[in-house]
Amino acid sequence: MKILAIFAEAWRAMAMNGLRTALTMLGMVIGVAAVVLMLAVGQGAQYTVSQSIASMGSNLFIVLSGASTSGGLRFGSGSVPTLTVSDAQALAQIPSVKAVSPSYPGNAQLAYGSSNWSTIVTGSTPDYFTVRNWTLDAGHPFEESDVRGATRVVVLGQTVAKNLFGEEDPTGKTIRIKNMPFLVVGLLAAKGQSLDGRDQDDTAVVPVTTAQRKLFGNQFPGTVRYLMVQARSTETMDEAEREMGQVLRQRHHLAEDAENDFTIRNLTSVAQSAAGSAQAMSFMLGAIASISLLVGGIGIMNIMLVSVTERTREIGIRMAIGARRRDILLQFLLEALIICIVGGLVGVLLGVGGAWLVSSMAEMAVVVTVWSILLSFAFSAAIGVFFGYYPARRAAMLKPVEALRYE
């Protein structure tokens, strides 16, 4: 009951100076709202990156063909066709490798009725959908028999399907790729943008032999541009990378002192680096926003010191009639805590509302988590105790006689 009485006294004292209390509280409102909003933006960036990583597929490597040298100039990876479908089949036999997808991409114009669309057409095998963790919304992927027979079948991405068919189901329809008829056997599920901002749904996939023989031609029969390899687990990726290098060197008959005529890149490590950068940005935004909370706390301490000075005679009277030092300490500490808690609640509401507004207007991912709200609220309460303690202790340490004499 005594605590309730002290709480009521603290509330009355704050109500007597309502405007000053509100202005003091404003610092905490702005600080908490800024922390919630900045953490939401940072979490949104992390979510966007994690979605992009998931859309790529898990435990991925990309194996690029070799580089060429001409007239003293050395060209980049992929300028010499050193990889073949047989290489993909050999890599698939490695115990630490789950699946391998050879890829032979090229640009082509697709048409259906009066609609047409230019996109990247990738020649590959059925393992392409396994490696990329790519499910289908409709139809089915092509099969190994389609690869052996170089049949004219195609699986469309969502962007291509939308531009050619609108809302119509494309499966079972016949489109033209470079004026050749292709049967649409499947529609890929949407993946969205990749880490580099490319629309992954703007694609079409055909059997690799069809791409080589009928769409783009191939001066070096059986060769492909690159291989996508999926390891069985994250733990086996180092082992898989080492074994892939050994197998390819053996198959390409490279001498011990010869350089590799291929390049193996770990896409998962690149994605993890991007995720780490997004997490660091989230922490940085939260730290910057926390500065406003500290500023609000300093404002609370200043106002409480002014309040102690103004109420010195009141403190003397209360102590003269029996109030103990801890009662005075608790009252002023409660006043600071109330300002922070109420300001924190209002700040959380403003921060969540601001996050929703940013998400709606900027069309960016913004994620408000429970832990960010609890963290902001707990931080504001801690600041109330921290910055309110000194003024409260100063009030409690006043001597009754001196306080009563204060003018």
Residue 381: give the domain boundaries. 2-52+273-405
Residue 123 lies in a domain: yes
Are residues 297 and 204 located together in one domain of the fold?
no
Residue 267 lies in a domain: no
Are residues 239 and 164 located together in one domain of the fold?
yes
144 band by pLDDT with thresholds 50, 70 and 90: very high
Give the separation between CA 119 and CA 102, rounded to whole angstroms. Answer: 19
138 band by pLDDT with thresholds 50, 70 and 90: very high
Looking at residue 75, its pLDDT comes to 46
Indicate the angle between helix axes 312-320 and 267-310, nearest 10 degrees. 70
68 band by pLDDT with thresholds 50, 70 and 90: very low
Q: Is residue 270 predicted with pLDDT exceeding 70?
A: no
Domain count across the chain: 2
Average pLDDT over the chain, rounded to whole? 79
Are residues 111 and 214 located together in one domain of the fold?
yes
Residue 70 lies in a domain: no
Residue 296 lies in a domain: yes
Structure tokens at 106: 């090229």
Backbone angles phi, psi at 4, to 5 degrees: -65, -40
Residue 66 lies in a domain: no
Residue 60 lies in a domain: no
Q: Is residue 390 predicted with pLDDT exceeding 80?
A: no
Closest by Cα among 379, 404, 395, 398 to 332: 395
**CA 295 → CA 58, 283, 332, 383, distances in Å?**
44, 19, 20, 10
Residue 67 lies in a domain: no
Looking at residue 49, its pLDDT comes to 63
272 band by pLDDT with thresholds 50, 70 and 90: low
What would the mean pLDDT of 201-207 be, rounded to a whole number? 94
Looking at residue 8, its pLDDT comes to 65
Are residues 230 and 146 located together in one domain of the fold?
yes
Are residues 45 and 107 located together in one domain of the fold?
no
**63's torsion region: left (phi>0), alpha (psi -120 to 50) or beta?**
beta
More confident residue, 158 or 300: 158
Residue 268 lies in a domain: no
What would the mean pLDDT of 333-340 be, rounded to a whole number? 77
Are residues 157 and 119 located together in one domain of the fold?
yes
Looking at residue 398, its pLDDT comes to 67
Give the best-scoring range by mean pLDDT among 28-42, 209-223, 324-338. 209-223
